[in-house]
Amino acid sequence: MILPSLADIARRAATDGLDVVPFAVPLFVATIMIEMVWAARKAPTAYEPGDTLTSLLMGLGSTVAGALVAGLIALGAGWLYAHRVATIPVLWWTWIGVFVLDDFNYYLFHRTAHRVRWFWASHINHHSSQHYNLSTALRQSWTGFPALSFAFRIWPAFIGVAPGMLLTVGGINLVYQFWVHTEAVGRMPRWFEAVMNTPSHHRVHHATNPRYLDRNYAGVFIVWDRLLGTFTPERDDDPVRYGIVHQLGTFSVLTVAFHEWASIARDLWHAPWRAKAGYLLRAPGWSHDGRRDTSDMIRARWQAGHAEDQGDPGADQLASRNPAATPSAG
Ligand SMILES: [Zn+2]
Ligand SMILES: [Zn+2]
């Protein structure tokens, strides 16, 4: 048997797409088991059976939902590519460029998923666990398709990136993000923490502490957060509390998958006409009568009482936008 060369694999991947996720599943299972053994000795509360089961079922359901719509997304990407305005050649360095571009698109998707309630309704699934371990990584959304998350990732087909390349780099991106969901790793070397998304950076992203809300949207490279003002480092004096602002308090898979959609439907039903669009398109927590809080409001209130944190990286921008958060106003 002649093994295909790396160049052959890269060429095939560009035309057909090489989905690396199924190859990584045995690695996921093995490392979750290793982390469970670690947790039993070092962090007994890291795993809770019901929580882990829910995360695994969300992962399974997400895979099924993804398989059902994969053809439609491929069709969309194929249509864009057929109407492309240029053609990006398949070379080793364009693979790197496409990977970096796709990771930036992931950042844009992820930031939108936290700031626009329609996208949040799907992405909140991933944040609903109050535990933080490798199984949390598999707690993926069932409703990413109606939330249009794919639109952020397939548009490069229109500028001439082969759809197979997009599928391939998207899978690698997802697999990379698995290992950052752990408390077993403290800090990586400084240079690595500077450039890459790490367990420390992503713990901040899963936190409900006001300081950490809606920060660190990175997939693979943390540089996007550093460049665009959404980075906050993890601090040892502010340990992360995981989950969402209003914890679900249930392991019910159906509740985890659909609760925010149901809540949007209720709000749309009760809201006056002029406010309906706001419940779909404004930030999660927005309300027309001010009876709920957005993450910006929660953080501003917290910052008003914590003048010593004004110089915090990431917090300074917010303070300049929000007079209520400056010490002089408090
Ligand atoms: Zn998120
Ligand atoms: Zn995550």
Distance 123 CA to ligand 1 centre (A): 6
Distance 3 CA to ligand 2 centre (A): 36
Question: Which ligand has the nearest atom to the CA of 55?
Answer: 2
Give the residues of the chain that fall short of pLDDT 50. Answer: 315-330
Q: What's the confidence (pLDDT) of residue 1?
A: 56
d(CA 206, CA 162): 33
d(CA 65, CA 145): 8
146, 103, 106: which is closest to 260 by C-alpha?
146
Q: What's the confidence (pLDDT) of residue 89?
A: 94
Question: Which ligand has the nearest atom to the CA of 112?
Answer: 1
Cβ-contact 145, 310 below 8 angstroms: no
Q: What's the confidence (pLDDT) of residue 310?
A: 58
Q: What's the confidence (pLDDT) of residue 96?
A: 97
Distance 328 CA to ligand 1 centre (A): 33
Distance 107 CA to ligand 1 centre (A): 10
Question: Which ligand has the nearest atom to the CA of 124?
Answer: 1
| H or E element at residue 68 | helix 49-82
Angle between helices 117-127 and 253-270 (to 10 degrees): 160
Distance 300 CA to ligand 2 centre (A): 24
Q: What's the confidence (pLDDT) of residue 146?
A: 84
Output phi, psi for 242, to 5 deg. -90, 160
Question: Which ligand has the nearest atom to the CA of 114?
Answer: 1
Cβ-contact 180, 99 below 8 angstroms: no
State the CB neighbour count (10 A cutoff) for residue 59: 18
Q: What's the confidence (pLDDT) of residue 309?
A: 65
Q: What is the pTM of this model?
A: 0.90
Distance 91 CA to ligand 1 centre (A): 32
* 3-state secondary structure (DSSP) of residue 186: coil
State the CB neighbour count (10 A cutoff) for residue 87: 11
d(CA 303, CA 326): 8
Residue 44 carries which DSSP code?
T
Distance 240 CA to ligand 2 centre (A): 14
Question: Which ligand has the nearest atom to the CA of 284?
Answer: 1
